[in-house]
Amino acid sequence: MQFFGHIIDGEEVPSVDGATFEVWNPWTQEVWATAAEGGPEDAALAVASSRRAFDEGPWPRMGRAARAAAIHRLADLMEERADDLATLDTTNMAKPFAQAQHDVARSIWNFRFFADHQRDHCGEVFPMDSGHHSYSEYGPAGVVAAISPWNFPLMMATWKIAPAIAWGNTCIIKPSEDTPASVTLLGRLAIEAGFPPGVLNVLNGHGSPAGSSLTADDRVDRVTFTGSSTTGKTVMASASSHLAPVSLELGGKGANIVFEDADLDNAVHWAVEAIFRNSGQICLAGSRLFVASSVYDEFMDRFVAAAEALTIGDPFDPKTRFSSLASKKHFEKVSSYVDGVGLDGGKILTGGVDDEGRWLIRPTIVTDLPLTASAYCDEIFGPVCVVNRFESEEEVVSLANDTRYGLNAMLFTENLSRAHRVASQLRAGTVWVNCFFIRDLRTPFGGVGDSGVGREGGNFSREFFTEPKAVVMQIQR
Ligand code: NDP
């Protein structure tokens, strides 16, 4: 059986008290590995190591090109081990292998992008009439605690680690207890790449005490978290005790709007991707679908047929497009929402809870739910799409914005003016027009309302992971 330790100070180590936890394969419903169960003592050791690496080590002091080269070395090693990384994510959370490979490629790109972004960036110069000259300098902030979720185990972790270390910080990552494997392999590769001890530490264990010990530690200078809105509030409260700035990427209940002039083939394709990719375990999921009345019947016939055509099965089978949920606990949560649909007066057009004992919810499409039903309002984080029809642009904008979340939205139309008009009225951090899931890493990423605090990506990550400084020089006497 495999074992995933902590990576602390350049070594893979067990917990101080030897505690471990079981790591499950949700497709086979078997324990396939164990991992070190981090406690307060392990967290303190990880923070001390990263603190030392920041205060005394070479990483924040080395030239930008040298740091970029070190990060590219790690990315090279990830490329060599890409299939191993993808295998760990697929084993750990039943993500179809091709999707896991896609996530690994994006994870590698996260490192390459931020390595080059910090190497090539320019500060600002402010010529002053007084005979002075000011410029800005972006220095590293210090020790970063990063807490990542189980739905994109490697990808979400690297989205935080890459900008943090590229800007000269040191970082401790706490992966979800459900998915410790790929991030631990990443930590091993960082040692192989020659990273100085403490630049990237991996602390395995549960949200509490491992994660909560990190966020509460006053030697930590930044906290970046992706997960549920409820835990996000706990994380923010904890970090506020020592005034560490936080970046929170939380849940969503994305609106997907199909106007009557949409290219329906394209809209159906993306509607399926938006709610059934990764078994719907995506904060960006298009979980509330609004379809114009005049094309409703035609769209729904095609959407239901496309959902039913998804090949369900073993995530390692190349034909599989859809598989189990990531854990028994999560399966029970999503099942309770599906069970509640009928009680709330909704109709399941296709899908439902698997009847073969797997932790699987079939691609599920629901109509006729009242707008107050919990399956309509809450983030289910599973393959459950709630569909409504609409009559006018004004009505659908109001429906789309009637949520406490605001991470993303999608709209499908061939009318350019309407695309611009509606995109600017939607209350969301990202709006996709005629597409979904396409990202440019330079753009802001994050949400409003219960979907988060702050933005990451490109210069937005620079703002969070650095301490900007103004230098004022007298140049004329
Ligand atoms: P959580 O928000 O509880 O967990 C996310 C991460 O935070 C995990 O690494 C978790 O560790 C850690 N964590 C939990 N409690 C604390 C704490 N007090 N201090 C610091 N870190 C902590 O999400 P769940 O995994 O429980 O999923 C619940 C729901 O959250 C989902 O059903 C979904 O709605 C939403 N979610 C949203 C995600 C997104 O991408 N926005 C991603 C994942 C979940 P551990 O796993 O060990 O508890």
The closest-lying atom of ligand 1 relative to the alpha carbon of residue 177 is 47
pLDDT of residue 477 exceeding 80: no
* Closest C-alpha to 388, from 347, 337, 439, 332: 347
| pLDDT confidence tier of residue 476, bands split at 50, 70 and 90 | confident
pLDDT of residue 403 exceeding 80: yes
Structure confidence by residue, pLDDT tens digits, 351-400: 999 989 999 999 999 999 999 999 999 999 999 999 999 999 999 999 99
pLDDT of residue 198 exceeding 80: yes
pLDDT of residue 449 exceeding 90: yes
pLDDT of residue 122 exceeding 90: no
Ligand 1 centroid to residue 157 C-alpha, Å: 13
CB 171, CB 49: distance < 8 Å = no
394 part of the active site = no
Structure confidence by residue, pLDDT tens digits, 144-159: 999 999 999 999 999 9
CA 44 – CA 218 distance, rounded (Å): 11
The pLDDT assigned to 349 comes to 98
CB 74, CB 218: distance < 8 Å = no
Indicate whether residue 227 lines ligand 1 (CB < 6 A). yes
Q: Going by C-beta distance under 8 Å and a sequence separation of 6 or more, which residues neighbour residue 55?
A: none
pTM here? 0.96
In this structure, which residue's CA is closest to atom 19 in ligand 1?
212
Q: What percent of the chain has pLDDT over 90?
A: 98
Structure confidence by residue, pLDDT tens digits, 330-341: 999 999 999 999
The pLDDT assigned to 64 comes to 95
The pLDDT assigned to 342 comes to 87
Structure confidence by residue, pLDDT tens digits, 56-90: 999 999 999 999 999 999 999 999 999 999 999 99
CA 220 – CA 208 distance, rounded (Å): 17
CA 78 – CA 200 distance, rounded (Å): 15
Q: Over the chain, what is the mean pLDDT?
A: 97
Phi, psi torsion values for 270, nearest 5 degrees: -75, -30
CB 134, CB 126: distance < 8 Å = yes
Q: Which of 249, 273, 379, 456 is catalytic?
A: 249
| pLDDT confidence tier of residue 302, bands split at 50, 70 and 90 | very high
Q: Going by C-beta distance under 8 Å and a sequence separation of 6 or more, which residues neighbour residue 222?
A: 141, 142, 143, 144, 145, 164, 169, 244, 245, 246, 247, 464, 465
Q: Going by C-beta distance under 8 Å and a sequence separation of 6 or more, which residues neighbour residue 29?
A: 328, 358, 359
CA 350 – CA 364 distance, rounded (Å): 5
CB 147, CB 227: distance < 8 Å = yes
Phi, psi torsion values for 98, nearest 5 degrees: -65, -35
| pLDDT confidence tier of residue 93, bands split at 50, 70 and 90 | very high
Indicate whether residue 212 lines ligand 1 (CB < 6 A). yes
177 part of the active site = no
Average pLDDT over residues 273-300: 98
CA 146 – CA 224 distance, rounded (Å): 5
